[in-house]
């Protein structure tokens, strides 16, 4: 029987090096206790923040120092837990770290309200007295901008204290979906595809990580069985997940109202200073181009030679089979080579990172599903993956390395206060790497079949990133609107809402009752109004890559465009997202980058259709 390996069976070179953060858990405990004491020191400044320039500088420096250490303590605990989400010890460490982070936020919650007692002119006067305050210029500008939505110090402290509670539904969902839920095994009619060799059929366990990969298998009856078994398991958790999501939405709405916003969406987008019109423009542009997605779906139907495309057919590539194997080491080489247009320094730092165990590569029993880039200001980057030896996993590696390098370049150039960056710009860095990988592979790989699969992967990435994430964005916007208008968010209502959107987006395909439950399996919904930024990110990224490679991958890169892009990566959060993207030559206040991305999707779709015919 095919099974997921235990973590102890994974070679160390394919695991991340968390010992570089804390050599032992005892060392983590020492760091935890040290920063917990300094959290208390923050509170001594309450009521004194704006007394004079020296005091203001001292409290901001202490706050940054505390948050810097808290982030490392929390990241280590979370990553240890994610190695095996069933491990009770690391669940406990993560819970303690989350409580510490909430305590730190609570202890520092008086700072912004007290800063908002200043005018801009008064802060400028303080800078003249204490020039070291100048580094906080943009931060203070952002704090003053949020004054209409910042409550009194007492209320801010209460909201910070409640953050652990209001975010609990996401934690419940995470433990349910990754630790407690188990999916059935199905008979694999083609065990050779799983490396078992020829012979009798074998049972293969469905997991969160391999589900979509199994839906790329050529056996249609097998795909249908995997699809039905998977979603039937989610159906058994229907009321629990609906309750979790309903309360997550309620928390978003009530928190937004507590901060004087009309809607949860307005509150979420105002944090990074992104106008809601950007969200609406994305949805409108995608709806104006649904014909391209419908064409893609119909081509899949033709490629499969079926009368009607079913939801279990949706992940099948247009090339008609599972695609070539791409082992991790080969994928890493392809990715590094593809980054050459960004310059030798960028490329070499990625190569060194891969050699230094940035990446936790393979799936193991209990491991957090999916992929992410982590790390803090004081650590190397860390990437969690569940690598599946395929082209999709290779693209995920490129994607997460984009995030990691964004963090590295920001740390090189910015102080801690600007070392983070909004998701709105983060998804640009990741998707630029994907687009560069596509261009490189189409230019350099000789195998025409491999090229077809690369082209197909590009199309699937745009479909799943631009169209799918916009569908998700519509769903969560509507779910929050219903809550704001007092309509109960029952499981049936959420199914109805999601199923209706699926019918609009995939008009040529059969939309069944099971796919209407797909909202249940999307963890990003517990971080409201997050997913639309994947769609805006890929739009900006494709525009940047077109500028960096004006003559395609075979031509000479535009060094100025590449340098502008690297400058954008180095800025962290020193400016607002739309202003940062203008450094890289992209105007996301208009539909132009989205329209360019959708036009490229249509052109690539026609290109692959011609190759296949």
**Of the candidates 109, 129, 116, which has an alpha carbon nearest to the alpha carbon of residue 67?**
109
Residue-wise DSSP of 529-555: T-THHHHHHHHHHHHHHHHHSTT-TTS
Question: Residue length, the chain?
Answer: 613
Q: Which two tokens stand for residue 461?
A: 């990435």
Q: Which residues pair with 373 in a beta bridge?
A: 383
Helices (H), 3-152: 25-43, 53-83, 88-107, 111-115, 120-129, 137-145
* E strand or H helix at 457: helix 448-462
Question: Strands across the sheet with 372-374, in order?
Answer: 359-362, 382-387, 372-374
CA dist 540 and 428 (Å) reads 6
Is the Cβ–Cβ distance between 189 and 222 less than 8 Å?
yes
CA dist 506 and 494 (Å) reads 18
In this structure, which long-range contacts are made by residues 546-549, counting pairs with CB atoms below 8 Å and at least 24 apart in sequence? 546/596, 546/600, 547/585, 548/341, 548/342, 548/436, 549/341, 549/436, 549/439
Cβ neighbours of residue 527 closer than 8 Å, sequence gap 6 or more: 170
Q: Which two tokens stand for residue 51?
A: 């007394």
Question: 3-state class of 2 per DSSP?
Answer: strand
Token pair 């989205």 in the structure block, residue? 594
Torsion of CA 505, 506, 511, 516, to 10 degrees: -30
Residue-wise DSSP of 478-491: HHHHHHHTT----H
* E strand or H helix at 331: helix 328-338
Catalytic residues: 400
Token pair 């704001």 in the structure block, residue? 484
CA dist 377 and 356 (Å) reads 17
């Amino acid at each position: 029987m095919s099974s997921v390996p235990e973590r102890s069976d994974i070679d160390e070179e394919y695991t991340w090096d968390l010992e570089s953060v804390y050599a032992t858990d005892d060392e983590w405990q020492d760091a935890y206790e040290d920063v917990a004491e300094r959290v208390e020191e923050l509170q001594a400044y309450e009521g004194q923040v704006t007394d004079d320039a020296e005091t203001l500088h001292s409290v901001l420096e202490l706050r940054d120092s505390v948050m810097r250490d808290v982030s490392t303590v929390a990241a280590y605990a979370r990553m240890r837990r994610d190695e095996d989400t069933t491990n009770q010890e690391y669940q406990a460490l993560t819970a303690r770290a989350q409580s510490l982070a909430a305590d730190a936020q609570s202890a520092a919650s008086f700072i912004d309200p007290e800063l908002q007692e200043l005018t801009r002119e008064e802060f400028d006067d303080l800078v003249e007295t204490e020039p070291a305050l100048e580094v906080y210029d943009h931060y203070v500008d952002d704090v003053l901008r949020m004054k209409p939505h910042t409550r009194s110090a007492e209320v801010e402290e209460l909201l910070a204290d409640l953050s652990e509670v209001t975010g609990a539904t996401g934690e419940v969902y995470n433990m349910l979906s990754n630790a407690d839920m188990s999916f059935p095994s199905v008979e694999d009619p083609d065990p050779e595809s799983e490396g078992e060799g020829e012979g009798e059929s074998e049972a293969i366990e469905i997991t969160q990580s391999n589900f979509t990969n199994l839906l790329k298998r050529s056996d249609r009856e097998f795909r249908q069985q995997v699809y039905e078994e998977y979603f039937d398991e989610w159906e058994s958790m229907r009321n629990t997940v609906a309750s979790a999501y309903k309360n997550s939405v309620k928390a978003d709405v009530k928190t937004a109202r507590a901060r004087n916003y009309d809607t949860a969406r307005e509150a979420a987008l105002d944090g990074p200073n992104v106008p809601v019109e950007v969200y609406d423009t994305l949805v409108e542009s995608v709806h104006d181009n649904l014909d391209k997605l419908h064409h893609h779906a119909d081509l899949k139907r033709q490629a499969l030679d079926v009368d009607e495309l079913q939801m279990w057919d949706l992940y099948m590539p247009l090339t008609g089979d599972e695609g070539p194997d791409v082992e991790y080491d080969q994928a890493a080489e392809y990715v590094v080579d593809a980054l050459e247009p960004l310059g030798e320094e960028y490329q070499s730092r990625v190569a060194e990172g891969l050699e230094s165990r940035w990446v936790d590569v393979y799936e193991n029993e209990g491991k957090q599903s999916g992929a992410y880039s982590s790390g803090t200001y004081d650590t190397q980057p860390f990437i969690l993956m569940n690598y599946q030896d395929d082209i999709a996993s290779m693209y995920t590696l490129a994607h997460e390395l984009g995030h990691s390098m964004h963090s590295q370049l920001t740390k090189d150039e910015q102080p801690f206060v600007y070392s983070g960056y909004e998701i709105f710009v983060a998804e640009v860095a990741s998707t630029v790497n994907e687009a560069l990988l596509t261009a490189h592979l189409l230019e350099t790989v000789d195998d025409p079949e491999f090229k077809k699969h690369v082209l197909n992967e590009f199309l699937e990435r745009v479909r799943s990133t631009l169209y799918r994430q916009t569908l998700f964005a519509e769903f969560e916007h509507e779910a929050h609107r219903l809550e704001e208008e007092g309509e109960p968010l029952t499981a049936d209502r959420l199914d109805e809402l999601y199923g209706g959107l699926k019918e609009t987006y995939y008009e040529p395909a059969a939309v069944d009752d099971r796919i209407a439950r797909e909202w249940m399996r999307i963890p990003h919904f517990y971080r409201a109004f997050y997913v639309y930024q994947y769609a805006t990110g890929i739009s900006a990224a494709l525009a940047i890559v077109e500028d960096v490679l004006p003559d395609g991958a075979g031509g000479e890169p535009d060094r100025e465009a590449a340098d502008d892009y690297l400058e954008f990566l180095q800025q962290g959060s020193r400016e607002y997202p739309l202003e940062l993207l203008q450094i890289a030559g992209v105007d996301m206040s208009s539909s132009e980058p989205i329209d360019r991305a959708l036009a490229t999707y249509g052109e690539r779709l026609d290109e692959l259709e011609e190759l296949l015919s």
